[in-house]
Structure 1
Amino acid sequence: MDERVTITVENGIADVRLIRTDKMNALDPAMFAGINGAIEKLAGMKDVRVAVLSGDGRAFCAGLDMASMAGGGSGNDLGARSHGVANTAQNVAWGWRALPMPVIAAVHGVALGGGFQIMSGACVRIAHPATRMSIRETYWGLVPDMAGLALWRTLVRDDVLRDLTYSAREFTAVDAERYGFVTRLAEDPRAAAFELAREIAGRNPDAVKASKRLINLMADGDTATMLQAESDEQIKLMRSPNQVEAVRANMEKRAAVFAD
């Protein structure tokens, strides 16, 4: 994993970095393996309350490294559900959605094709205004197949998605914010992402994770399922130690001390 992705944790925040810097963090087999390994590791890290995902160097992720993939691809069997509902390639994007903790993507340089889909798996996406983006797959005669469509259905209008997918044209993060792909813009996306991460890490981690589960359910859950899930999550939270601590800390005007 450390060959392509690093994770460092401080104060409940995981700093997750794509580090194939010389290739603008393009996706080769080792990068697929590294991202999937990082997601698996984060899933078991009870002390992580929020993760910040970014790319080292000049870019977030330039998408598939077509030269390196020509000899055998990501090692992905498209039909195999190797990671729950997802195959190996889909999990590098969908896996961020499936993690228990919130994930914030800090995006700069380029986020093209597979890189754009990986970005889309984050709960919140903060991008530099000049970031170049594209749903690139039809340029290569393919379709988006790294969970993008499952992720985009809650972000963007149907006609906008068709326009960008069919044409494969580039757009900037300014456009992406208007379309709904990007949450907000920042001149320093990493700094903005860590500022938000610190705010989230200061909230009851049980409530934050429960909120992520509920919001994830919105894409598929019917009204009855959603209403029941709200009640179930609230029952578990009410009068739990971390919920009591949240109330006490607010009443006493101090920083809360939560247990992970």
Structure 2
Amino acid sequence: MSDRVTITIEAGIADVKMNRPDKRNALDPAMFTALAEAGEQLKTEPGVRVVVLSGEGKSFCAGLDMASMQAIAGNDDSEGRSTGNAGDMAEGRITHLAQQVCWVWQEVPVPVIAAVHGHALGGGIQIALGADIRIVHPDTKMSVREIYWGLVPDMTGTFQLGKLVRPDIAKELTFTARVFPGSEAFDLGLATRLSDDPYADAMTMAREIAGVSPGAVRGAKELINNMAAEGAAEQFAAERRLIRAQVGTQNQVEAVTASFENRAPVFTD
């Protein structure tokens, strides 16, 4: 695993940190790979009873790396399609890499608590939604940001969002791509709990969970997930199909170009 993600295990708690603080933990190819590898490792890591997922520095995760966005504006497929083609489909898996960095936390058999602060934008909010529990600072800037860039949410976000909020709310957040605070996320049901120190409170909760019967906790997560995961494979396939239909189109490139040129986009019907 690269240094993009660090894992420290102590007293049954796996402390997982996205480790690119100078870029607000933005998602580049190395971060995608490291997150997925971290989740895979923790599926079978001995002695782990709970996971805390957080970001080093001032933000949880600011979404896709801007270098990838600039590549889209320059019509560079190798970088510009980082979210649409991030990894091949492994045999027997219902996700590709960009989706797996979110979904892997549901596959980890123990509870995963996301400690969210600073920014959780685009892919960042989708990673947070992949956790079982979200402890969020009230001032965190959050957004289902993809449509701003001419894309659709493609990292399991539509599936997870639709499980947590009403369809009209999911549509409003997605269609507008607006930035909203963590306090509103709690009101909407996207945040489990608000905290002025999400990481400290996540660790406190983790210690509480680590202190109860590990078999019972694993069993409870499996039972709840059996109900919650219905339809996931079909939705993830639709995400992959629809993101491919948008990436590199004239309107999608225009959305990115206009943002970098600080002007209003001009779209064609």
**Structure 2 length normalisation: TM-score?**
0.79
In 2, Cα distance between equivalents of 1:178 and 1:66: 30
The offset of 1:46, in angstroms, is 2.4
Q: Secondary structure, in 3 states, of the residue corresponding to 1:153? A: helix
- Count of aligned residue pairs for this structure pair: 222
Aligned counterpart, 2:94 = 85
Question: Is the 2:68–2:82 contact (alpha carbons within 8 Å) kept by the matching residues of 1?
Answer: no
Whichever of the two has the greater Rg, that structure is 1
Aligned counterpart, 2:247 = none
Q: Secondary structure, in 3 states, of the residue corresponding to 1:16? A: strand
Q: Secondary structure, in 3 states, of the residue corresponding to 1:139? A: helix
Segments of structure 1 that go 5 or more residues without pairing to the other structure are: 223-260
The one-letter amino acid paired with 1:54 is: S
Aligned counterpart, 1:29 = 29
139, 146, 150: which one aligns with 1:137? 146
**Higher RCO structure (Cα 8 Å, ≥6 apart):** 2
In 2, Cα distance between equivalents of 1:104 and 1:76: 27
The offset of 1:2, in angstroms, is 3.6
Aligned counterpart, 2:251 = none
In 1, Cα distance between equivalents of 2:167 and 2:225: 19
Aligned counterpart, 2:250 = none
In 2, Cα distance between equivalents of 1:54 and 1:132: 15
Deviates more, 1:81-90 or 1:10-19: 81-90
Question: Is the 2:4–2:20 contact (alpha carbons within 8 Å) kept by the matching residues of 1?
Answer: yes
In 2, Cα distance between equivalents of 1:220 and 1:64: 26
Which aligned pairs between 1:68-107 and structure 2 lie closer than 5 A?
Answer: 68=68, 70=71, 71-72=78-79, 73-74=81-82, 77=85, 80-82=88-90, 84-107=93-116
The one-letter amino acid paired with 1:81 is: M
In 2, Cα distance between equivalents of 1:77 and 1:183: 31
The offset of 1:78, in angstroms, is 6.6
Q: Secondary structure, in 3 states, of the residue corresponding to 2:153? A: coil
Is 1:186 paired with 2:191?
Answer: no
The one-letter amino acid paired with 1:186 is: S
Is 1:149 paired with 2:154?
Answer: no
| Identical positions, percent | 55
Relative to its length, the structure with more helix (as a share) is: 2
